[in-house]
């Protein structure tokens, strides 16, 4: 037998046959793979997986890799570890075939360790003294906008190894991943005593910076600390271990890892320099977490704050506790299902089915008119509104509760940005809905035909059932469309 071939494993009879795929190689792959330290053809196999419509929950039939050259087995194994944050059934099979590979497949769940800091100055002082004398053990990744808005943060990172990242969604890609891998490589080369296991990457920035830095930490086997500077990152991106980057044309967060931060340090003072629309975009996720926990008092507090989101001495400590409360609410769902194997963690996607399809429409319209891009948070706020309309239609006895929630959503101002976007499109409700349907079908992995129903996340009202029961449930497309159109009028 050719020594470069690997014996097939007898298991995984029902799995996808990876050897039937054709790697989709592109000319620039070799350089990018080399910079990432990935085996040659990893990107080609990744594209093949997307082209084949593979899912992370489906087992990749690596047993069939006996048909492939050893180099391709390594490339496929690497692709499987980062495909939509890692194929579920990879570890056993791969470790059986290539000893030593399993350790890089998935790191374990770490519960949320949330530290808070009353001011940016006190945060900077404490992190500076914590790593004083062992500067080579921490590597800062700092969002460029934060560096400009908070010069003291930029001054701090200058004392340590660092990389200033010119963020933005467009830079959330594998080229930036490779650039950071390279920076860290240069740092460890100049400190041969350092091994990656003892290195901590500290990311200061919005969700884009945190997702990228956490991904690199996972790839290299380092620890990472998340220091979020946007509201969205404080309550959502920093918590839950999802890391990764966009991979075109398949879109957002398609390549990544689950890699949980060692800790999250929240310092709400950073929000003082964040534009109000960005705060409201994160606010939509806060409203969502409060809704999922069915904590109406917290929902009202958030709605009131978001109406005019100014953080000052007078409200600083209250906002602080509101942020930690909703971050911890997310952690409850994460803890129940850290790697999103079942449907529990999926509940965090409440309002996101509609939101993602609107964002898809926004991305296309933006190509013709740049102002027509839609913020994720603004789309989520509208998605929540649709959800409440649906829930009230299904449980008319909960109309009063539903109205209370809708008032909160409207009063928060989180829908204003969506409304501006909608009127800018010049579309009527039927036209917008018909543009959304293909995205809904893609989201639900419906390949052909028009679906008659769709599975979304909702919950039973506590006031009706006596107990809050978030659950995912089936809704007809007609009802979804009706709720969508009602929401446009509210």
Ligand X SMILES: NC(=O)c1ccc[n+]([C@@H]2O[C@H](COP(=O)([O-])OP(=O)(O)OC[C@H]3O[C@@H](n4cnc5c(N)ncnc54)[C@H](O)[C@@H]3O)[C@@H](O)[C@H]2O)c1
- Distance in Å, CB of 435 to ligand X, minimum: 22
* Site for ligand X contains 351 (CB under 6 A): no
279-338 binders of ligand X (CB under 6 A): 281
CB-nearer residue toward ligand X: 134 or 148: 148
Helix/strand/coil (H, E, C) string of the chain? CCCCECCCCCCCCCCEEHHHCCCCCCCCHHHHHHHHCCCCCHHHHHHHHHHCCCCCCCCEEHHHHHHCEHHHHHHHHHHHHHECCCCCCHHHHHHHHCCCCHHHHCCCCCCCCEEECCCHHHHHHHHHHHCCCCHHHEEEEEEHHHHHHCHHHHHHHHCCCEEEECCCHHHCCHHHHHHHHHHHHHHHHHCCCCCHHHCEEEEEECHHHHHHHHHHHHHHCCEEEEEECCHHHHHHHCCCCEEEEEECCCEEEEEEEECCCCEEEECHHHHHHCCHHHHHHHHHHHHHHHHHCCCHHHHHHHHHHHHCCCCCCCCHHHHHHHHHHHHHHHHHHHHHCCCCCCCCHHHHHCCHHHHHHHHHHHHHHHHHCHHHCCCHHHHHHHHHHHHHHHHHHHCHHHHHHHHHHHHHHHHCCCCHHHHHHHHHHCCCHHHHHHHHHHHHHHHCCCCCCCCCEEEEEEEECHHHHCCCEEEEEEEEHHHHHHHHHHHHHC
* Site for ligand X contains 274 (CB under 6 A): yes
CB-nearer residue toward ligand X: 245 or 441: 245
CB-nearer residue toward ligand X: 250 or 473: 250
Distance CA 448, CA 426 (A): 29
* Site for ligand X contains 253 (CB under 6 A): yes
CB-nearer residue toward ligand X: 114 or 480: 114
Report the residue from 44, 63, 161, 207 that binds ligand X according to the rule CB under 6 A: 207
Instruction: Point out which span in 19-27, 64-72, 266-274, 408-416 binds ligand X (CB under 6 A).
Output: 266-274
68-97 binders of ligand X (CB under 6 A): none
CB-nearer residue toward ligand X: 333 or 459: 333
Question: Does residue 240 contact residue 326 with C-beta atoms inside 8 Å?
Answer: no
Report the residue from 41, 84, 106, 172 that binds ligand X according to the rule CB under 6 A: 172
Report the residue from 19, 125, 273, 472 that binds ligand X according to the rule CB under 6 A: 273
Instruction: Point out which span in 20-28, 164-172, 428-436, 458-466 binds ligand X (CB under 6 A).
Output: 164-172
- Distance in Å, CB of 268 to ligand X, minimum: 10
Phi/psi of residue 255, each to 5°? -125, 125
* Token pair of 387 as six digits: 């959800």
CB-nearer residue toward ligand X: 234 or 388: 234
What's the Rg (C-alpha) of the chain? 23
Report the residue from 33, 72, 88, 278 that binds ligand X according to the rule CB under 6 A: 278
210-239 binders of ligand X (CB under 6 A): 211, 229-230, 232-233, 236-237
* Site for ligand X contains 389 (CB under 6 A): no
**Crossing angle for the helix pair 276-292 and 376-394, nearest 10 degrees?**
30
CB-nearer residue toward ligand X: 37 or 168: 168
CB-nearer residue toward ligand X: 236 or 294: 236
Report the residue from 39, 86, 218, 240 that binds ligand X according to the rule CB under 6 A: 240
Evaluate the CA torsion angle 415, 418, 420, 426 in order and state its sign: negative
What Å distances lie between residue 208 and 77, 183, 236, CA to CA? 26, 18, 12
- Distance in Å, CB of 422 to ligand X, minimum: 20
CB-nearer residue toward ligand X: 41 or 259: 259
- Distance in Å, CB of 148 to ligand X, minimum: 8
Report the residue from 45, 160, 260, 270 that binds ligand X according to the rule CB under 6 A: 270
31-50 binders of ligand X (CB under 6 A): none
CB-nearer residue toward ligand X: 240 or 283: 240
* Site for ligand X contains 268 (CB under 6 A): no
- Distance in Å, CB of 488 to ligand X, minimum: 24
Q: How many residues bind ligand X (CB under 6 A)?
A: 29
Report the residue from 58, 128, 149, 335 that binds ligand X according to the rule CB under 6 A: 149
CB-nearer residue toward ligand X: 85 or 389: 85
116-145 binders of ligand X (CB under 6 A): 143, 145
Residues lying near ligand X in the complex (CB under 6 A) are found at 143, 145-146, 149, 167-169, 172, 205-209, 211, 229-230, 232-233, 236-237, 240, 242, 252-253, 270, 273-274, 278, 281
């Amino acid at each position: 037998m050719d020594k470069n071939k690997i014996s097939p494993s007898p298991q995984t009879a029902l799995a996808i046959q990876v050897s039937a795929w054709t790697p989709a190689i592109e000319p620039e792959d070799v350089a990018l793979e080399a910079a990432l330290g990935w085996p040659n053809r990893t990107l080609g196999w990744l594209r093949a997986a997307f082209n084949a419509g593979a899912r992370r929950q489906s087992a990749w039939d690596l047993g069939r890799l006996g048909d492939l050259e050893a180099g391709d087995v390594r490339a496929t194994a690497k692709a499987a570890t980062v495909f939509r944050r890692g194929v579920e059934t990879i570890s056993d099979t791969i470790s059986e075939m290539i000893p030593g590979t399993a350790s890089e497949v998935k790191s374990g769940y770490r519960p949320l360790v949330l530290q808070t800091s009353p001011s940016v100055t006190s945060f900077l002082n404490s992190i500076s003294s914590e790593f004083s004398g062992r500067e080579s053990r921490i590597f800062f990744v700092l969002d460029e906008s934060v560096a400009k808005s908070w010069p003291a943060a930029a001054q701090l990172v200058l004392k340590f190894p660092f990389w200033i990242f010119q963020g933005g969604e467009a830079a959330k890609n594998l080229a930036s991943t490779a650039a950071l891998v390279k920076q860290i490589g240069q740092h460890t080369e100049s400190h041969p005593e350092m091994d990656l296991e003892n290195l901590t990457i500290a990311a200061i920035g919005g969700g884009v910076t945190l997702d990228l830095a956490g991904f690199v930490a996972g790839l290299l086997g380092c620890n990472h600390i998340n220091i979020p500077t946007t509201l969205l990152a404080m309550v959502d991106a920093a918590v839950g271990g999802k890391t990764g980057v966009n991979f075109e044309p398949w879109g957002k967060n398609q390549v990544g890892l689950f890699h949980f931060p060692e800790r999250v340090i929240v310092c709400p003072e950073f929000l003082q320099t964040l534009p109000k629309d960005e705060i409201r975009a994160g606010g939509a996720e806060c409203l969502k977490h409060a809704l999922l926990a069915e904590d109406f008092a917290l929902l009202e507090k958030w709605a009131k704050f978001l109406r005019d989101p100014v953080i000052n001495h007078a409200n600083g400590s209250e906002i602080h506790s509101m942020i930690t409360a909703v971050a911890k609410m997310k952690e409850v769902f994460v803890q129940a299902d850290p790697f999103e194997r079942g449907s529990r963690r999926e509940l965090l996607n409440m309002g996101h089915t509609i939101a993602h399809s609107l964002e898809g429409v926004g991305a296309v319209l933006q190509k013709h008119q740049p102002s027509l891009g839609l913020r994720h948070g603004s789309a989520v706020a509208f998605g929540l509104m649709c959800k409440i309309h649906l829930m009230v239609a299904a449980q008319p006895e909960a109309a009063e509760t539903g109205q209370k929630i809708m008032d909160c959503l409207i009063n928060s101002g989180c829908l204003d940005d969506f409304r501006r976007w909608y009127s800018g499109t010049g579309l009527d409700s039927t036209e917008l809905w018909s543009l959304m349907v293909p995205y809904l079908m893609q989201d639900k992995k419906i390949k052909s035909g028009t679906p008659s129903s769709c599975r979304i996340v909702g919950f039973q009202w506590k006031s009706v059932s006596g107990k809050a029961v978030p659950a995912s449930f089936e809704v007809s497309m007609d009802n979804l469309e009706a709720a969508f159109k009602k929401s446009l009028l509210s």
